[in-house]
């Protein structure tokens, strides 16, 4: 299984790999060492360190303006870093111009050359690598087959749909076997149906070719479904890195909990040295703190909407509230529940009996193990 490793806050032990050291088989595909990126006085990225293993699919996820695209562009050399180092395959690239970096880049807006045919677009990178002509034709043909658009060589980009154009852009970026494939929100310009199809396709092609891919998105679903590792970014810094399941199930910070899947956040104070929490709304719930906590300290309890069960059950924790709104989704229903004290919860539960209506009383059950505790600074207690 391809893996991305993070060594936070600093990569590996200092001096393990000297800057500019020769590429080795096990050097990471891309490595950031304490990079800072600033536009004038505005600091877009600060103190960012990350090491990406060869062949893995890593997603930079975050809201717009969090610095994820800036980081991606810094790998390509389209953005200058103000501090730190970027290594590609063990080679320091800070001073290498973009056209010598051997990187495949896919843009949100496709960026196919409008005056060139599909063949010339895809062949562009090969031409500048002095690949002989028959070899170019063979490789372009193969790349077009890979993106399931064989025989489209003579068409112009304007004759293709958005989805087709993005596939050609993908073929153009991988045909010369770059060391890293960078994808800058490649799906956001597509309509919803195409987006899901392309998601599967990109992931499939990445696996087939074994290329290292770095994907930038603000869409949590894309991130969760495609990535080996997700790097959650906020305000120019890394919030958490982990497998999709890790970041979703055990968010490291309040930001991650909220950004991925809109978790419920309940304020409260610790009692029974971390085995229970008295909520601000008055109820007491059992929690399972991984370490003893001082009674009376303030915490936030995070519970995913999917962790609630509706109706009578065997769960330890029980909350009662009033349904504010209910949306029926077929297999499950999403309830907005008022539990008093101006606090509302969101529950996404499978439908066992009938769907409750607005104004009805609802019983919610959940286990202590489903509760994640955050301290006053919004950091997970572990």
Partner 1 sequence: MNRARRKQEGRWAWRLTGFVTVCVYIFMFAPIVATVVLSFNASMFGGFPMTGFSLQWYGKLMANEQVLAAFRTSLWIALVTAIVTTAIGVTTAFALVRFEFRGKQALSTLVILPALVPETILGVGLLVLIKAVDQPRTMLLLVLGHILLAVPYVVLIAQARMIGIRRVYEEAALSLGASRFSSFREITLPLLVPAVVGGALLAFTISFDNTSASLFWRPAGVETMPTQILSMLKISISPEINALGTVMILVTVGIPLVGGLILQSLTKLRRQGEPKEETQ
Q: Which residues make up the interface to partner 1 (CB under 8 A)?
A: 76, 78, 97-105, 107, 109, 111-115, 124-125, 128-129, 156, 158-161, 163-164, 172-173, 176, 194, 197
Shortest Å, Cβ 104 to partner 1: 7
* Contact between 69 and 16 (Cβ < 8 Å): no
Q: Which is nearer to partner 1, 5 or 179 (CB)?
A: 179
Number of Cβ within a 10 Å radius of residue 97: 8
Q: Which is nearer to partner 1, 96 or 237 (CB)?
A: 96
The residues near 42 (Cβ < 8 Å, ≥ 6 apart) are none
Q: Which of 377, 364, 375 is nearest to 289 (CA)?
A: 375
Shortest Å, Cβ 319 to partner 1: 47
* Cα–Cα distance, 199 to 87 (Å, whole number): 28
Shortest Å, Cβ 147 to partner 1: 13
* Cα–Cα distance, 282 to 103 (Å, whole number): 56
Q: Which is nearer to partner 1, 182 or 303 (CB)?
A: 182
The residues near 273 (Cβ < 8 Å, ≥ 6 apart) are 292, 293, 294, 295
Lookup: tokens for 1: 């299984």
Question: Taking phi first (over 0 means left), then psi (-120 to 50 degrees means alpha), and beta for anything else, what does residue 138 get?
Answer: alpha
Q: Which is nearer to partner 1, 108 or 370 (CB)?
A: 108
Q: Which of 55, 279, 90, 313 is nearest to 177 (CA)?
A: 55
User: For the chain, how big is the Rg over CA atoms in Å?
Assistant: 24
Q: Which is nearer to partner 1, 187 or 372 (CB)?
A: 187
Shortest Å, Cβ 52 to partner 1: 18
Shortest Å, Cβ 119 to partner 1: 14
Q: Which is nearer to partner 1, 89 or 228 (CB)?
A: 89
């Amino acid at each position: 299984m391809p893996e991305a490793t993070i060594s936070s806050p600093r990569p590996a032990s200092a001096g393990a790999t000297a800057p500019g050291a020769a590429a080795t088989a096990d050097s990471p595909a891309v490595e950031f060492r304490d990079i800072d990126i600033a536009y004038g006085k505005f600091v877009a990225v600060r103190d960012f360190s990350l090491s990406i293993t060869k062949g893995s699919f890593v997603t930079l996820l975050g809201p717009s303006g969090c610095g994820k695209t800036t980081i991606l562009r810094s790998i390509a050399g389209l953005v200058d870093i103000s501090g730190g180092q970027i290594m590609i395959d063990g080679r320091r690239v800070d001073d290498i111009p973009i056209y010598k970096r051997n990187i495949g880049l896919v843009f949100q807006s496709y960026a196919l050359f409008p005056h060139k045919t599909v063949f010339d677009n895809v062949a562009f990178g090969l031409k500048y690598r002095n690949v002989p002509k028959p070899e170019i034709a063979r490789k372009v043909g193969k790349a077009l087959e890979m993106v399931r658009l064989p025989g489209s060589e003579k068409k112009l980009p304007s004759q293709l749909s958005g989805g087709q154009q993005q596939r050609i852009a993908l073929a153009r970026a991988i045909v010369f076997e770059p060391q890293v494939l960078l994808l800058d929100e490649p799906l956001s310009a597509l309509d919803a149906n195409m987006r899901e199809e392309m998601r599967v396709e990109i992931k499939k092609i990445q696996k087939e070719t074994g290329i290292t891919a770095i994907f930038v998105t603000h869409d949590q679903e894309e991130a969760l479904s495609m990535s080996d590792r997700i790097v959650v970014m906020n305000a120019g810094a890394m919030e958490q890195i982990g497998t999709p399941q890790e970041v979703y199930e055990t968010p490291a910070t309040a930001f991650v909990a909220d950004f991925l899947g809109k978790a419920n956040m309940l304020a409260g104070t610790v009692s029974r040295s971390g085995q229970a929490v008295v909520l601000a709304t008055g109820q007491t719930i059992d929690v399972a703190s991984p370490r003893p906590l001082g009674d009376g300290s303030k915490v936030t309890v995070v519970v995913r909407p999917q962790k609630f069960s509706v109706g009578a059950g065997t769960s330890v924790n029980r909350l009662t509230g009033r349904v504010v709104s209910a949306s029926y989704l077929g297999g499950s229903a999403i309830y907005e529940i008022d539990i008093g004290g101006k606090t509302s919860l969101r529950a996404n539960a499978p439908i066992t009996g009938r769907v409750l209506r607005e104004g009805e009383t609802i019983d919610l059950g959940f286990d202590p193990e489903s509760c994640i505790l955050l301290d006053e600074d919004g950091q997970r207690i572990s």
